[in-house]
Chains A and B, each alone.
Chain A
């Protein structure tokens, strides 16, 4: 079974500061993918970044980077130079890569509510 844990229900950060959102995961499958999504108040889930379990380097996408520590089973999202528009819910998710069937669905954490203050 897969499990995602996000231990920060809410965070307040000053604009332009960097922020780290924590995510730990649990799986016995060696082949998996880790995802981060942003959900603004409008409700739509926006894909941010992906990390595969066999990727040697940490993923980066613009201001987003994923701090992947495989031995610790953590996949923290780092947002550099935060902006007011970054205020939203952030969800960490995972799926197995090769199992098929129900493994193709994403398993989500409970999310972190990030508020950027001016």
Chain B
């Protein structure tokens, strides 16, 4: 296993469209996290899963954001009715229990 992978790496969409990003964690990791990073800032925590259970979602930015991890393996992050303010890098990380988190390369979203 070579690490956390994310697809797509880049996404350009028009305002109002829905987008979905995928994250594949390191295989033995049971925890998966989503972060958003805007220009000049550190990553901002959005949500996380332990196995298939979503244990924190109050940090999701609005009800347009949702995440799933149906079988406790890969996860998807969906943004509905995208807005220009959603343009950012979306990062996924995984960990085994509460140990250090390993990040994927991110998906850069541009909303035009």
Contacts and interface: CB of A to CB of B under 8 A. Distances in A.
Interface in A67-102: 91, 93, 95, 97, 100-102
Contacts of A37: 103
A76 to B, nearest CB: 17
Interface in A97-112: 97, 100-102, 104-111
Range for the number of chain A residues in contact with chain B: 20 to 34
Contact of A104 (B91, B98, B104, B105): B98
Interface stretch (B12-20, B41-49, B61-69, B70-78): B41-49
Contacts of B44: 108
Contacts of B55: 100-101, 104
Range for the number of chain B residues in contact with chain A: 20 to 34
A4 to B, nearest CB: 8
A84 to B, nearest CB: 22
A95 B98 CA distance: 10
B101 interface: yes
A105 B103 contact: no
Complex A-B, nearest 5 residue pairs according to Cβ-Cβ distance, in ascending order = A108-B42, A105-B45, A45-B103, A102-B56, A44-B105
Given A45-B91, A45-B93, A105-B35, 9 more contacts: A37-B103, A43-B105, A44-B104, A102-B56, A105-B33, A105-B59, A108-B43, A110-B41, A111-B41
Interface of A: 4, 33, 35, 37, 42-47, 50, 91, 93, 95, 97, 100-102, 104-111
